[in-house]
Structures are given as C-alpha cells and as structure tokens.
Amino acid sequence: MLSWIIFIPLIAASVILLLPRDNKSAIRGVALIATLIDFVICIPLYFRFDPNTAAMQFEEVVSWIPTIGSSYHLGIDGISFWLILLTTFLGPLCIIGSWSSIQKRVKEYHFSFLFLQTGMLGVFCSLDLVLFYVFWEVMLVPMYLLIGIWGGPQRIYAAVKFFLFTMFGSVLMLVAILWLYFHSADPVTGLRTFDLMQIYAMGKPAVQAQLWLFAAFALAFAIKVPMFPFHTWLPDAHVEAPTAGSVILAGVLLKMGTYGFLRFAMPLFPDAVAHFVPVISVLAIIGIIYGALVAMVQPDMKKLVAYSSVSHLGFVMLGMFALNQQGVSGSIMQMLNHGISTGALFFLVGVIYERRHTRMIADYGGIAKVMPKYATVFIIIALSSIGLPGLNGFIGEYLILLGTFKANWVYAAFAATGVIFAAVYLLWMIQRVFYGKLDKDENKELQDLTLREKIVLYPLVAMTVIMGVYPQMFLSKMETSVRVFLENLPK
C-alpha cells in the first residue's frame, strides 16, 4: 500500500512525459487525477491504522542491495502517519491552484511537481538509511527546478541558495550514516546493515561519538526546518517560488527537517539529546521571536508569511525538545497546523497576486468591500495562524507551551511572546490590506473568489476548524508512538 502511495505520482509523471506538449488540459488532468487517487488511497490508512501500538505498520521489506545490507523497507507509525496524509491532501490542491497561474512549460512543471511528491512521500515512509537518503536527495532536484524555472525575478539566486544550503547539510548526514553502517556489524555474523529498525535495536555508540553524529544529522535537519541561524534560504525560496511551490515548501518540505529529528537524530543518539536540549531550545526561541519581529516589518505579503514560518517552526522545535508527552504531541500537531494554515496563506497571497501582480501591502487597502469572500477566508486562516481558540493553531501552540512550561518555565515565558507578535504582524497586515479607504482604482475592479479558488481554499478552512474543534481525532493516532519515543530517551 505504501509503495502505491509513493509511486503513483511518479507513474503519472511518466505518463505526462508521453503526452504532447501543447495538450495542457490533458497534462493538468493526469496530474490532478493522480494526486486525487493518491489521497483517496491514503484515506483507508486512517481506519486501518492501529493507534494502540508504536510498532511500524503497513511494512514492506524487500532485499534491495544485499551486498551492503540495504533493503527496500517502508513503514509508518503515529509520527509519520499524519505527514503522509498532509502531503497527499495538499497535492491535488496545489495542482488546482496552479491551473491558471502556470502557462509556460506546463508539461515540465507537472512532471517536476509529481516527482517532488514521490520524493517527499518516500522520505516519510523509508526505514532504511540508504533508501531515506536517496529520497531525501531526489526531492532536491524538482524543488530546485520549480523555483528556478517558474519562480520570480530572483529565482536563480533563490534556487541555487536553497540547493547549496540543503546539499551542505546532506553531505554531513551521509558521513554520519556511513559511520553507523560501519559500526553496525553483527557480533556473530559480522554482517552490517542500513536498516533503521535493526540499528535502533543495537547498542548505542559512546556518548562522545553520539555528540558528533547527532550534530551531523541535526545540522542537515536544522537547515531544512529551517532553524535560526540556518533560515536565510527560506524567505528567498518562498518569495521567488510559484504559489504551489511555496505551498508545498511550507506545507511539507519544512516538516522533513522536524520529522528527521523525531525519526533519526533523537532516537539514534539519545544520550546526545540531553546535551543539546539547551542549545536547540534557545535557538528555537530566538527563531520564534526573530521570525515574528522580521515578519512585522515586511512590506511584501509573501515575505511576511515566509518569516512567519521561521517563527512557527521554532515552536515545533521547542515542543519537541521539551521531551514530554504534551510538548512532542504539540510539536507534531503544530507541523500539521502549519502545513494547513501557512499553505492556505500562500494560496491566498497567490490569488491576489494573479489579479494585481503585486504583493506589496501598500498597494492594497479596503479590498474587503469588493472581495468579501476572499477577506473572510483570509481572516479565518490568519486567526488560525495566530492561534485563536477553536481553530487549529491554538491546540498545537497550547500543548507546546504547556510541555515547555513543565520542562523549563523560562523558555515558555519567552516563547509565549511569539504568540503576541504573531497577532501583531497578521492583524496589522489584515487592517492595511482589507480595511480603510478603497482609494486605488485598480482595487475597485478586483474579482472575488472564483469557483476554482473556492475548491482550493474551502477544504483548508474546513480543516482549520475540524482540527481546532476535535483535536483528539489527530492526537489519538500519535499518542502511543510519542510515549514509546520518549521512553527510549534518557530522563
């Protein structure tokens, strides 16, 4: 089942290569059908997933490169389960959202997007270190193309910066993976392995070695998150990427970094975690406050939303390193919340950019009078991003702050200011864009949401409400996996 979920987008990408370049509607149709099928296949996972066990489920193991002990090993647990569903949920929305905005090289665009989808899903399912690394690197190329070909005026600079930052971290992670492999020899047979489950079960390396190995993995994942001070590639990539590229970048790609900490860096090197808790926590708090303060002064709506990601992902990292049930559960919940809310914000900025071809806040004002439906959706999503009770953002931030307070109340006090700053920069943007005088002639003729835009945005609004009103539906699936994850870390 997991193989189908991973490779359906790649199969569709191969079909698109066979289609004539000028048949744009068929290309878009194949991409949309493939992503919809992928999401529909994922729905039974929810009902078949057993929340009472932390063991890997839906496992697939096939010998791949036996000479080096590498296998095609897939599986998911309560930590990766929701990230798979989030990825497949956003896929068709991104295709629909790109329907009119992408007009050049439509064939190559949809091929790249579907290829990227396969890479991201593979990362979340892989339980073999070689397989994980292959998917991790494969994902770089289509994202580089999406930014570099279909991006804004500075797209080449942003794409190269994204590629170099991520590649630098990946190389160090590869060194750590090879170290684990050469130290995984079975004492009886002498065979080595890249299988993550077998490496989990082995004796842990010496504390000094764990510190270096954790640092190598953590750097690769911190760049991807991105944590302060490795965040500088993110605003450039977001601002230059096409709308769907920004959505998938914020919604899924950044979560690959936070997921990497939960699946690899922390359980593989538990003794090193205690040493790095203060460092990661302080960097997360700096990211929360710094991201919010920089967002506050942005004249560009898309850049404002990009810096808000730095702030929100700081919360994710802080909750994760609180090392308690509330903090880690809140961290995973906030990954999902951020994917929905920030993904929706990028869609919303894309809607207005298609009409006016400007993202500058100063170019708008009073547009709620001519775009009431757009304004309503924007305000609901912004309030969810702020953390209004009843919407999804509140649950994640509340659990993170609760878990952090239990671990270190000083960290929680500083982090809580990020919630206040989020309200400042988002409400201030809403005030300047939607209210006041409608005094610019270009804004008086703006069209409200089209049917296609409603199809993209209304499911995202519905998810913010469902996740805010009934969070147990999401938390129950991850509870056991989080508890076992914490049991394996030193107290």
Give the pLDDT band of residue 365 (cuts 50, 70, 90).
confident
Question: What does pTM read for this prediction?
Answer: 0.90
Per-residue pLDDT averaged across 348-361, rounded? 86
The pLDDT value recorded for residue 46 is 87
Percent of residues, the chain, with pLDDT higher than 70: 99
Count of beta carbons in the 10 Å neighbourhood of residue 299: 11
Closest Cα partner for 115 from 154, 74, 144, 86?
144
Instruction: Return the bridge partners of 360, or none.
Output: 300
Per-residue pLDDT averaged across 329-347, rounded? 91
Over 70: is that where the pLDDT of 187 sits? no
The pLDDT value recorded for residue 26 is 86
Percent of residues, the chain, with pLDDT higher than 90: 22
Give the pLDDT band of residue 491 (cuts 50, 70, 90).
low
Per-residue pLDDT averaged across 298-326, rounded? 90
Domain ranges, ordered by start, for the chain: 1-268, 271-491
Alpha carbon 31 to chain centroid, angstroms: 21
The pLDDT value recorded for residue 488 is 81
pLDDT in tens, 106-158: 888 888 889 999 999 999 999 988 999 999 988 888 888 888 888 778 888 88
Per-residue pLDDT averaged across 259-284, rounded? 90
**pLDDT averaged over every residue in the chain:** 87
Over 90: is that where the pLDDT of 205 sits? no
Residue 476, CA distances (Å) to 287, 389, 459 in order: 29, 20, 22
pLDDT in tens, 216-251: 999 989 988 888 888 888 888 888 888 888 888 888
pLDDT in tens, 399-458: 999 999 998 889 999 999 988 898 999 999 899 888 878 777 777 888 888 888 899 999
The pLDDT value recorded for residue 97 is 84
Q: Which of 173-187, 268-282, 288-302 has the lowest mean pLDDT?
A: 173-187
Range list of H helices, 183-324: 196-201, 207-224, 233-240, 243-248, 254-260, 266-268, 270-296, 301-320
Give the pLDDT band of residue 381 (cuts 50, 70, 90).
very high
411: helix, strand or coil: helix
Residues 330 and 398: beta-carbon distance below 8 Å? yes
